[in-house]
Amino acid sequence: MPAPRAAIWDVDGTLVDTAEIHFAAWTDFAAAHGFPFTRADFAATFGKRNPEIIRQLFDPAADDARCADWGEEKERLYRAATDRAGVALLPGVGALVTGLAAAGWLQGLGSSAPRANLDLILKHTGTTARFTAIISGDDVSRGKPDPEVFLKAAAKLGVSPARCVVFEDAPAGVEAAKAAGMACVGVTFVGHHPADRLTAAGAELVVPSLEAVTVEQVERLIERKAE
């Protein structure tokens, strides 16, 4: 039996494009509290965690309790918006997930999002059975670029980090993968982060879409590390 291999997927911007759902949720949140909220405000939220967003955009003096309350409110609005709009896998993702599974790869999720959001995305995309280890923001104490989320996913899958490939769209996520000792594919599909930033962060392969990525290409990333 060859040693197991694993693909660990970032979710927002990699597996699915949830940006418009997050925009709708923050817009609903801001309207409920009487705050203005623009596209420019939204662009400033990319890659940030809720407490940081809340203090930066809505209340610089918000204490931890208020940030937690408002953060939970926004995530409830996000889940309601997801149920209204639905969410689909990004181009090429479904085929690659299916192809990797057929080739015997184990697969997991490593995301900073709350677990309830991930469960909802899996339900809407019909992929719940594909991902046997799910590590969410609820399971880690340190966000990306700390490798904790990916190391926990690999441990749960029972695969050594050197046999894991991470799929990511953000430089902080690529850095987390590299810090975990994993190969990394960077995807620029949703366009929040340019290709050169993902390459500079250490991604071995950077692509505009996962449509052109084959299982063989992903396998070579692991073989190259073993040389």
Query: Could you list the residues that contact Mg ion (CB under 5 A)?
Result: 10, 12-13, 169-170
Nearest to 7 by CA among 215, 199, 194: 215
- Across 133-147, b (16+ Cβ under 10 Å) vs e yields bbbbbeebeebbbbb
For residues 171 and 188, the answer to whether their CB atoms sit within 8 Å is no
Residue number, nearest CB to Mg ion = 13
Integer Cα distance of 170 and 16 in angstroms: 13
Q: Which of 12, 17, 28, 41 is catalytic?
A: 12
The nearer residue to Mg ion, 121 or 170, going by C-beta atoms, is 170
Output the smallest distance, CB 213 to Mg ion, in A.
Answer: 17
Output the smallest distance, CB 174 to Mg ion, in A.
Answer: 10
Concerning whether 12 is annotated as a catalytic residue, the answer is: yes
The nearer residue to Mg ion, 169 or 204, going by C-beta atoms, is 169
Output the smallest distance, CB 66 to Mg ion, in A.
Answer: 26
Map 163-214 to HEC letters: HEEEEECCHHHHHHHHHCCCEEEEECCCCCCCHHHHHHHCCCEEECCHHHCC
Concerning whether 10 is annotated as a catalytic residue, the answer is: yes
Integer Cα distance of 19 and 216 in angstroms: 30
Kindly report the length of the chain.
227
H and E: helices and strands count for the chain: 10, 6
The nearer residue to Mg ion, 1 or 191, going by C-beta atoms, is 191
The nearer residue to Mg ion, 100 or 109, going by C-beta atoms, is 109
Output the smallest distance, CB 10 to Mg ion, in A.
Answer: 4
The nearer residue to Mg ion, 157 or 170, going by C-beta atoms, is 170
Q: What are phi and psi of 130, to 5 degrees?
A: -75, -30
Integer Cα distance of 142 and 119 in angstroms: 21
Output the smallest distance, CB 112 to Mg ion, in A.
Answer: 8
Question: What is the distance of C-alpha 197 from the center of its chain?
Answer: 17
Report the catalytic residues. 10, 12
